[in-house]
Amino acid sequence: MPKPKHRLTPTLIRGLKWHLEVKVGFQILTKLDCRKISTRILTEFGFTVSESTLYRLFVWNKNDNLPYQHTLEILANYAGFPSWFEMTDEIYALDKFQFMYGKLPGVQEHKSLLRHTIQCDSLAPLYDFLEQFPGEIDQNRQLLIGQELFSSLKTNPHDNVKFFKDFSKLPVVRSSFYEYLADPDFTIPNYEQGLIYYLNGLNPALSSQALQDYVFANSLLLRFYFLTGNKEKAIEVGKCLYEELILKQDTLDSLYIFPAIRYLCYRIFFNELTTGFDNDYFEWLKEYALIRSQHSTLIEQRIVIHTVLDSLFVNPTMQQLVFIEFSEIFADLFNSFPDYFVSLSLQQQLNYLNPNASTFQPIERL
């Protein structure tokens, strides 16, 4: 009996590619990328999907490939779905979700209605639309809303201040835009003011969520002030984080790894401005980072590695040494990167490791 084959719609190809890119942490652009994914599926999952099959599906773009049902099941399982049919249901559901805010999936030449409302400074309908969502909608939908907000605000001809003032307390904006798609490089106009509105009225003593939000936003501000030479502001924020806020080990361990590692790493900036680089503190930090990474996902490991190395901006020699050390300790992670990674400069490699929205956005094509 012949094996069943399927002709995939552009929507299914686009959605399958996006889910795989989120899984592996890099964009599928070349035959080398397809080879790396083929190797990872075999190594991590024990099944074979050939490099040429992936290339025809995602790079060749002739829409003349008919993958076997068995191949689609492997790819769906690898991306985290029980079956290919359940994955197709989710892909089409995400397409319908994007239609809700006026985005045409896969169409780049037309702006979404959400983007138009922001960039035309007509925010009242958008507020009513976003207010209906709780902060706990699932991750894929949070990523999609956050991506559209991120790119709309980044290219907004207005100053974004009204948006930040009015929207920073909405649960879905806080979770999807601020937290899932942080912008530590402050590429969005007036992002500093946005974080200040995000922090407004936030008391870290009220709940674990409030503490996490407080640590997250202030850590980003500390890094920004340090790197832009605003010593006074950096010290002011640093005192809030490291003198007024004293976190015990169990509290620190309870924080999600992203804000926890930022909080600890950016203390290096505060120390640099007050007492100087502290080798003992850094050795403790490195050990803590390794312990927190032991049972983490690959994307969480990238967060840890990038943040630790980013904080060593103040000590380039040590930054290079720690990069080499981490590449050996996290060999599985580094081996999962595309082959061209090793030919990049150190700064380019750090940018690649950075999982933040300002540097890596495979979501945009969904």
Question: Which residues pair with residue 209 across a beta bridge?
Answer: none
pLDDT of residue 355: 67
- In the chain, where the domains are located: 10-89, 107-201
For 153, counting Cβ atoms within 10 Å of its Cβ (0-12 exposed, 13-18 middle, 19+ buried), the class is buried
pLDDT of residue 364: 34
DSSP state letters, 215-284: HHHHHHHHHHHHHTT-HHHHHHHHHIIIII----HHHHHHS-HHHHHHHHHTHHHHHHHHT---HHHHHH
Question: pTM, whole model, 2 decimals?
Answer: 0.85
Sign of CA dihedral 203, 186, 326, 321: negative
Q: Tens of pLDDT along the chain (366 residues)?
A: 446 677 888 889 989 998 998 888 778 888 888 988 998 898 888 889 999 999 999 988 666 678 889 999 999 999 999 999 999 999 999 989 988 888 877 666 678 999 999 999 999 999 999 999 876 788 888 888 998 999 999 999 999 999 999 999 999 999 999 988 889 889 999 999 999 999 999 999 999 899 999 999 999 999 999 999 999 999 999 999 999 998 888 898 888 888 999 999 999 999 999 999 999 999 999 999 999 888 777 778 888 999 999 999 889 999 999 999 999 999 888 887 777 788 888 888 888 787 664 444 433 333
CA atoms in the 13 A half-sphere facing the CB of 233: 15
Q: For residues 163 and 170, what is the distance between their CA atoms, to the nearest angstrom?
A: 11
Sequence-separated (6 or more) residues with CB below 8 Å from residue 187: 154, 358
Q: Position of tokens 């950096």?
A: 234
CB 104 within 8 A of CB 115: no
